[in-house]
Structure 1
Amino acid sequence: MKEKKEPSSTEALMWFTDRWKTSKRMQLLLYAILGIAFYLLFIKHILPERVQIQVGMVSPETIVSPVTKIDRAATEEAKEQAAEKVDRVYTTDDRVTNQQVDKIDRFFADIRKVLSDGDLSADEKEKQVKLVLNEAISEDFQGPFYHTVAALSPDSLTDIRLKTREIVYDILKKGVRKSELKEKRESVDDKILATMIENSLDSKARIVIREIAKKSIVANEFYDEQQTEQLRDAAREAVQPIPINKGQIIVALGEVVTEDQYRKLEELGLLRKDSNFLPQVGLGLFVITILTALFFYIRRFHPNLYHNNANLLLLFSVLLLTLIGMKFIALGQNLEWNMLGYIAPVGLGTMLITLLLNIELAVVCAMILAVAASMLFNGENHLLFDFRYGLVALISGTAAAFALADVRKRGGILQAGMVAALASVFPIAALHFMLPSEGTWMVLVQSLVFGMLSGLFSAVLTIGFLPYFETAFGILSPMRLIELGNPNHPLLRKLLIETPGTYHHSIIVGNLSEAAAEAIGADGLLARVGAYYHDVGKTKRPQFFIENQLHRLNPHDKISPNLSKTIIISHTRDGVEILKQHKIPKQIQDIAAQHHGTTLIRYFYHKALQQKKDGDQVREEDYRYPGPKAQFKEAAIVGICDCVEAAVRSLARPTPSRIQNMVNKIIRDRLEDGQFNECDLTLKELEMIANSICETLQGIFHSRIEYPEEPAKGVKQG
């Protein structure tokens, strides 16, 4: 009896690695870990407990502020106090000063005419003086003053005019308010007294100067309401908002509640008739609801994800990474940066999920992240969900996912980030215009800047994290395929240098495979890159493959068909080993292992039949590739194109009809041989693949004209 062989540590590790990917217990554990992480991230963002309290009551507990928020009433009161301290602004109207001086000049000019008129009697002059004074200066002069003016000598008028003009101008240029008229007019006497010391003026002249100057002093400095309000507005703006700080005690235990304290409690939203108890239980139920919906969605629409815990772990890792980034942003949200939530990198999650998994899942996850954003950034208005951040996160994240649907270069991630940035502008602006009371124009500009930075920030983070996720989970993204398809890749360089024939063959197979895959809606990029590497195992023994022999002797002529078969078959296994050594993704390894399936190596099988001796047994299954058969469409397509390229290259005259017959025969033989039994290719798709291959081959092997030889030099033409 044979002893049961114990599995090696390597085999046990491989068994465990494969086992955990399909284990239902592991799947439940992953959901549990995600749920706990959700719960811990949101626990500080649920609504605070509200209290029943009234003004004049003794507080049964110490109530502290759960958040930092502006105390609007206190801030407004401080602003008004600052505005009241601003003095009223007065502006001097120089036009009034000039008008009064002009009146004095006109008055003395008219008086000079009256006093110089020799035809007028003394009484007539006095009457004329009265008319001029009443019209030019004022009607409030006393009767004797008219007589005094009429008795002046015309020669003295010049000095009187200049002194009067000087006094009036000096007083008015400093500004005279209406409330200061009496004081300013009395200052005329002081001016005249100073003039008496400097100049010898008679009593009549001083009387005239005094009365006219006093009547000429009028208010020319007026209250500037607009400028005063501007200064008061500036004083209001200079006042820093008075916050109710997080952790600040609003009402202490045993303290009688005042109106101001009650107002603060109301401002913070802490007053409620009904108690809001068990918020933690509610949060737990909410998280369970979200995860349950996600579970059934994945089970119904993404069976590959549902049956593969590795992909599920990838999805949850991306979600947690995004949520942690959002949490850090939420910690920085404060009174001055209350719109910081718009910068949350929601696009990081949706872009990574689009690139690594699929866009449908990314859109659903954008909804989950939008709900998370609504809760994480709810500190400003004290609602459980701040829909503003959720709406912007949903639109921005979804736009980023759609922008990456067909991306082929890493530069496309930045373009997707710009699309997400622009997409966030519209909901932010719409919300601001619909809720203008929520903020000023400055707040709008700040919000728009944060929203646009979110898209760009997400793109940069996606570019940074993408290679790590690709490597850790063996994901083959379009960008990774583009990099693997670069001719400067070490393996492709090795293929070109050591096996140039195989390299050329692989390039043509890649072109055929890409066109055929795209014709049926499969991944053309995966098919092309997989074709580049499908024969990399031939680099181990390049001389045993005819495309690399270059007119040299065929080594198979000197060895047995069985050994030749072994060498030929080994190139698939060798290729997988080489690809593993260079850490080429699993899908490319699968194409290298599956492109021959279990097909028969006909040449060496028939050669063995011809060389067999009596009693020898040549079995067909010994001359077949070990497989496995193609498990997915791209592997089957590469296998077809690999066989077609070699067969068509052997045709002497590759006409379109001969090419078509050859392609149809190869596909029919593989179909009858059961090589497509384990992949989901339909007969219609096989027909489309054949048509695509024929079109591509006809372009490669198109007919060319035969160029005439050039005549030898010195030979005369014609």
Structure 2
Amino acid sequence: MKDKREPSSIWLEKLIPKDWKTSARIQILLYAIFGIAFYLLLMKHVLPEQYDVKVGSISPATIVSPVTKADEFATEEAKKQAANAVETQYTKNDTLTSKQIDRIDHFFADVRKIVTAADLNEEDKVAKIKAILKEAIPGNFTEHFYVNLARTSPEKLTDIRLKTRGIVYDILQEGVRPQELSEKRDSVDRVLVTSLLDNDALDSRSRSIVRELAKQSIIPNEMVDEEKTEQLREAARDAVKTIPINKGQIIVSAGEVVTKDQYRKLEELGLLRKNTHLLPYLGLAVLTGFLLVMLFFYVRRFHSNVYTDNKNLILLFSILLLTLSGMKLLAFGQNLEWNTIGYLAPVGLGAMLITLLLDIELALGCVVLLSISSSVFYNADHQLLFDFRYGIVSLVNGAASAFALAGVRKRSAILRAGLIASTASVIPIVSMYFMVPADGTSQALLQSVIFGVLSGIFSAVLTIGTLPYFETVFGILSPLRLLELSNPNHPLLRKLLIEAPGTYHHSIIVGNLAEAAAEAIGADGLLARVGAYYHDVGKTKRPQFFIENQLYRENPHDKISPNLSKTIIISHTRDGVELLRQHRIPKPIQDIASQHHGTTLLKYFYYKALKQQKDGAQVLEENYRYPGPKAQFKEAAIRSLSRPTPSRIENLVRKIIRDRLEDGQFNECDLTLKELDLISKSICETLQGIFHSRIEYPEEPETIKGVKHG
């Protein structure tokens, strides 16, 4: 059969894959296109031709510093010298001292038992002393030491112990560093000589024992305190004041031979031209690529809705390019008369649109990118690539715009956000003038303030004008769009009110329940509420078949078969989606309408069919289930739980949640048990005092309990 489609449509299908929204190749292509456009926009604003000098060459001109900048190299060298002058710090461990003294006491207690043992000869005593000494005080002892100990009387052992522990305690108390161990052990000899001169009562054999045992008992107990040392060195580094290269400072005079230090300073200030004129552009390419990589990883790590959906990525890049193009146009107007027009940069436009259409955190991240771009666009002096003045004002302007629009509920808030951004922009402008008043005149300050005030208002006006187009082209369901859809005068809601007033009343109550439940778990409460308003619009096709619209009328289901009743009831989800599509209601609300019943069982008609089944007839449970799909996201799942009941609110709400959980209706969304508990509490609280007539689902007939049907 011949394909009757337009050739252009066939060509587009071949060019664009069906999975383009999630295709990694399309994602790479989008980043490449944005990167090229970003590079071209900035290209004319990179560094101009710089000075071509080398170490040892003659300077062709007097070169002065265009800015005040820290001399990083000189400052770092001074910090290193200050840090190296700090001595290594040690901390004495008194616990080791106590342990050594205890070991000496225990050792002598064991030796006393051995020496006084009548059943041991000298050889056995020496062997046992060696064994316990090996465990108590490891070291290299002479054989003579062991023999002397074995031959020592208990009375002398006491004198030897006291002398040994006294010497060891005194030396360890002073502190022994690892590198001082040999010196400290040698000091034992000096102590013994001194005690001999003082008519010590110990004999030569006892002093020999004390000498060996005390030396081996001396161990390092004063260790390097890395943390304390580093703290002192860090304090020394911090105490060193930054060595500046001052604005206007002559780096090298005309005709002067360029020294290595002067060359280094020129290099730090970015005043050198090396090798070729292409380097600044190559540098811009590297910078652009780096910013793109940072943006990529930021989006991938924190904004999965953009990373996994190329449609949202196109939206993001479209907003950024629109904002950058506006900044570029303003840059053309920067001249001697309007040299501060950069303060009018519409950074707030990008921040507001991204906040409203995507996410405030993403907007704040993109504001950084736009602020860097602003520093390049409006660098009128061309002394450096970035003019921080415009960058910082753009950062403040964009951040204020984003924060001011967080959680907005009406379009007039955009203008209010613009006014807040204007006020915020004036603060850094005035503060920078006060900090460096010599950089401008009062007239320049007034001009800068006027541009700063206009920037927020300008961005707000542009946002109001472009927002509807982005919402329409990309099918975005922004908070402002949701509020418009919640207007009771919307054609579909009016249709629901007129043709199915009971369903309309039910939807309003469910909307309040859904919003409270969504906010309890951190989901989108506004989406849950508006989705609930529209979830049952399909009932307008046959309103009389739904109990809330019957009032005191006869129930038509009493006169038709359960199978036909089931077909009518189930069709309201499909009819609702068709109506929503006809009125171009955004897809998330269509999804709520199609998913709010999931694949749940129509128990009333299923049990009615079971009661009416004839011999041999089979009633299949799956024939009495909604076709689905199950809830795919939290707001749809919350809507499926928000069912007001006339009595036993808490028990029945929890029963509905438990039944749906056991029926697998939440298997395809990311609701947790904790969130389900929060939802149930929120619904119960909201339902206090609210009663709504619903079908009372009958219990499963006794005759068929425990039997699987179908």
Regarding TM over 0.5, the answer is yes
> Which residue of structure 1 aligns with residue 620 of structure 2?
619
* CA distance in 2 between partners of 1:14 and 1:430 (Å): 57
Q: State whether structure 2 residue 361 is matched by structure 1 residue 374.
A: no
The number of aligned residues is: 477
* CA distance in 1 between partners of 2:52 and 2:625 (Å): 84
> Which residue of structure 2 aligns with residue 323 of structure 1?
324
* CA distance in 2 between partners of 1:689 and 1:386 (Å): 51
**CA, structure 1 residues 273+629, in 2 after alignment: closer, same or farther (shift >3 Å)?**
closer
Q: How does 1:132-171 map to 2 (within 5 A)?
A: none
Amino acid at match of 2:34: L
* CA distance in 1 between partners of 2:14 and 2:556 (Å): 38
Amino acid at match of 2:44: K
Q: How does 1:60-99 map to 2 (within 5 A)?
A: none
Q: Is the Cα contact below 8 Å between 2:545 and 2:557 reproduced in 1? A: yes
1:332-370 deviation per Cα after TM superposition (whole angstroms, max 9, x unaligned): 111100000100100000111111111111111000000
* CA distance in 2 between partners of 1:376 and 1:328 (Å): 10
> Which residue of structure 1 aligns with residue 37 of structure 2?
37
1:284-306 deviation per Cα after TM superposition (whole angstroms, max 9, x unaligned): 12111110111111111112211
Q: SS at the partner of 1:583?
A: coil
Q: SS at the partner of 2:20?
A: helix
> Which residue of structure 1 aligns with residue 178 of structure 2?
none
Moved more, 279-288 or 392-401: 279-288
- Structure 1 residue aligned with 2:670, among 674, 680, 683? 680
Q: Is the Cα contact below 8 Å between 2:376 and 2:387 reproduced in 1? A: yes
> Which residue of structure 2 aligns with residue 49 of structure 1?
49
Amino acid at match of 2:50: R
> Which residue of structure 2 aligns with residue 582 of structure 1?
583
Amino acid at match of 1:511: N
Give the structure with higher Rg (CA): 1
Instruction: Give every structure 1 segment of 4 or more consecutive aligned residues whose post-TM-superposition deviation is greater than 3 Å.
Output: 4-18, 50-53, 269-276
> Which residue of structure 1 aligns with residue 649 of structure 2?
659
> Which residue of structure 2 aligns with residue 418 of structure 1?
419
Amino acid at match of 1:42: L
* CA distance in 1 between partners of 2:404 and 2:621 (Å): 52
* CA distance in 1 between partners of 2:640 and 2:556 (Å): 25
> Which residue of structure 2 aligns with residue 218 of structure 1?
none
Amino acid at match of 1:676: F
**CA, structure 1 residues 8+627, in 2 after alignment: closer, same or farther (shift >3 Å)?**
farther
> Which residue of structure 1 aligns with residue 87 of structure 2?
none
Q: Is the Cα contact below 8 Å between 2:47 and 2:382 reproduced in 1? A: no
Q: SS at the partner of 1:406?
A: coil
Amino acid at match of 1:674: G
Q: CA deviation at 1:275?
A: 5.5
Amino acid at match of 1:667: I
Q: SS at the partner of 1:599?
A: coil
Q: CA deviation at 1:559?
A: 2.5
1:82-141 deviation per Cα after TM superposition (whole angstroms, max 9, x unaligned): xxxxxxxxxxxxxxxxxxxxxxxxxxxxxxxxxxxxxxxxxxxxxxxxxxxxxxxxxxxx
> Which residue of structure 2 aligns with residue 696 of structure 1?
686
Q: How does 1:371-410 map to 2 (within 5 A)?
A: 371-410=372-411
**CA, structure 1 residues 7+692, in 2 after alignment: closer, same or farther (shift >3 Å)?**
farther
**CA, structure 1 residues 515+474, in 2 after alignment: closer, same or farther (shift >3 Å)?**
same
Amino acid at match of 1:473: F
> Which residue of structure 2 aligns with residue 118 of structure 1?
none
> Which residue of structure 1 aligns with residue 88 of structure 2?
none
* CA distance in 2 between partners of 1:408 and 1:392 (Å): 27
Q: CA deviation at 1:700?
A: 2.3
**TM-score, normalization by structure 2:** 0.64
* CA distance in 1 between partners of 2:619 and 2:282 (Å): 73
Q: CA deviation at 1:585?
A: 1.0
Q: Is the Cα contact below 8 Å between 2:414 and 2:460 reproduced in 1? A: yes
Amino acid at match of 1:353: I
Q: How does 1:432-443 map to 2 (within 5 A)?
A: 432-443=433-444
Amino acid at match of 2:651: N
* CA distance in 2 between partners of 1:415 and 1:640 (Å): 37
* CA distance in 1 between partners of 2:15 and 2:588 (Å): 20
1:231-259 deviation per Cα after TM superposition (whole angstroms, max 9, x unaligned): xxxxxxxxxxxxxxxxxxxxxxxxxx9xx
Gaps of 5+ in 2: 54-59, 61-253, 255-268, 693-710
> Which residue of structure 1 aligns with residue 348 of structure 2?
347
Q: CA deviation at 1:6?
A: 11
Q: CA deviation at 1:691?
A: 1.4
> Which residue of structure 1 aligns with residue 299 of structure 2?
298
* CA distance in 2 between partners of 1:13 and 1:441 (Å): 61
Q: SS at the partner of 1:19?
A: coil
Q: SS at the partner of 1:32?
A: helix
**TM-score, normalization by structure 1:** 0.63
1:260-304 deviation per Cα after TM superposition (whole angstroms, max 9, x unaligned): xxxxxxxxx999675662122222121111101111111111122
**CA, structure 1 residues 270+18, in 2 after alignment: closer, same or farther (shift >3 Å)?**
closer
Gaps of 5+ in 1: 54-59, 61-256, 258-268, 703-718
Q: CA deviation at 1:13?
A: 6.6
> Which residue of structure 2 aligns with residue 201 of structure 1?
none
Q: How does 1:225-264 map to 2 (within 5 A)?
A: none
**CA, structure 1 residues 670+271, in 2 after alignment: closer, same or farther (shift >3 Å)?**
closer
Amino acid at match of 1:367: V
Q: Is the Cα contact below 8 Å between 1:535 and 1:572 reproduced in 2? A: yes
**CA, structure 1 residues 564+437, in 2 after alignment: closer, same or farther (shift >3 Å)?**
same
Q: Is the Cα contact below 8 Å between 1:366 and 1:398 reproduced in 2? A: yes
Please report the RMSD computed on the Cα atoms of aligned residues, expressed in angstroms.
Answer: 2.9
Q: Is the Cα contact below 8 Å between 2:508 and 2:533 reproduced in 1? A: yes
> Which residue of structure 2 aligns with residue 23 of structure 1?
23
* CA distance in 2 between partners of 1:664 and 1:14 (Å): 51
* CA distance in 2 between partners of 1:271 and 1:667 (Å): 69
* CA distance in 2 between partners of 1:604 and 1:284 (Å): 68
> Which residue of structure 1 aligns with residue 597 of structure 2?
596
Q: Is the Cα contact below 8 Å between 2:606 and 2:621 reproduced in 1? A: yes
1:511-564 deviation per Cα after TM superposition (whole angstroms, max 9, x unaligned): 111111112221111111110000011111112212222333333233322222
Q: State whether structure 2 residue 692 is matched by structure 1 residue 668.
A: no
Q: CA deviation at 1:701?
A: 4.6
